[in-house]
Amino acid sequence: MTQTEIVIDNDVVLDGEGNLLVDGNDDHRVFSVARGVTAGLVGLTVTGGFGGSGPKGVSSGAGIRNAGTLTLTKSTVSGNTIEWGSGGGIDNRGLLTLTRTTVSDNSVGSPVSDGGGILNSGTLTIANSTVSGNTSPFIDECTGSGISNWGTLTIANSTVSGPPAPPCLIRNSGTLTIKSSVVDGGCEGDIASNGYNIESPGDTCGFDPDRTDLVNVSTDNLKLGELADNGGPTMTHALGAGSVAIDVIPADMCEVDEDQRGEPRPGGTMCDVGAFEVQP
């Protein structure tokens, strides 16, 4: 537990080796990274961040607010809450890269909030990572319960999962490119596909079946497991036997040689879509 927000104002790499939990105790933001700083967080769990009215009035990024250059690796951002504001788990205004990281069960609480998991107005790359189970309350329009993007966002080899109906999962008001990823829920905004994406259960993300994407995939055919400890440093959604996400991407198009857990890609003759690679 931390007594106050941890402000990173010098270049640093903090390595928790997978065993360090940093808890805001539902009292304050956990981390902020200052403008001009280059930092890395490795093997950490960031939880219990809180922003509310009055003296606890941080308005965004209860888990992490980044204005610098931040790399988040093999880490978990989970259980953080913004009551009045946006970006329950993460508010990125700088340059942020998520690798082998899970952002889950974060929330925003007001009717005008967006980005239950992540609010991005900077440049964000999500690679070999999972965004799951984050919430925002607005029921009349898309507020991006998982991700609200106002900047530049690239999602690759990742799994984004959440409620399929309003509030929708991904809201894009900036530039967003997705490839080799599973979106288990709805989207809003113009999204560019670089191929081998899957949307379930609808067709709202602008994916193109003529360019190797799959849309309108039923839950029964996707066979996406619950968020769980499937090995590796962070929790993931496993793919069940017979999932349409298995063995989709040609080996020479895989681009990465491991999944979020650190298991080899491809596990079979071809690579799987999303953050999880089924092993033989």
3-state SS of 40-54? EEEEEEEECCEECCH
Q: Is residue 276 part of a domain?
A: no
Mean pLDDT of 195-208: 96
Strands 123-127 and 152-156: parallel
The answer as to whether 118 is a domain residue is yes
Q: Retrieve residue 238's tokens.
A: 């496993």
* pLDDT greater than 80 at residue 141: no
C-alpha distances out from residue 53 to 2, 82, 84, 177, Å? 20, 10, 7, 35
- Beta carbons within 8 Å of 176's beta carbon, 6+ residues apart: 149, 152, 153, 154, 155, 170, 189, 190, 191, 192
| Rg value, the chain, Cα | 17
| Number of domains into which the chain is organized | 1
Confidence of residue 143 (pLDDT cuts 50, 70, 90): confident
- pTM score, whole prediction: 0.96
pLDDT for residue 54 is more than 70: no
- DSSP per position, 67-84: SSEEEEES-EEES-EESS
Q: Give the residue from 27, 28, 34, 31 showing the smallest Cα distance to 11.
A: 34
Q: Is 85 exposed, middle or buried, given 0-12, 13-18 or 19+ CB atoms closer than 10 A?
A: buried
For residue 240, is it within any domain?
yes
Report which of 174, 120, 169 is spatially closest to residue 146, judged by C-alpha positions: 169
Tell whether 201 is covered by a domain. Answer: yes
Tally of residues, the chain = 280
213 inside domain = yes
Structural domain range at position 62: 6-271
- Let me know if residue 279 belongs to a domain: no
Please check whether residue 42 lies inside any domain of the structure: yes
Percent of the residues in the chain that have a pLDDT greater than 70, as a whole number: 94
Q: Which helix (H) or strand (E) holds 24?
A: none
Q: How many CA atoms lie within 13 A of 202 on its CB side?
A: 16
- For the chain, the helix, strand and coil percentages under 3-state DSSP, each to the nearest 5: 5, 40, 55
In a domain, 277, yes or no: no
pLDDT in tens, 14-23: 999 999 999 9
Q: For residue range 76-95, what is the model confidence (pLDDT) as tens digits?
A: 999 999 988 899 999 999 99
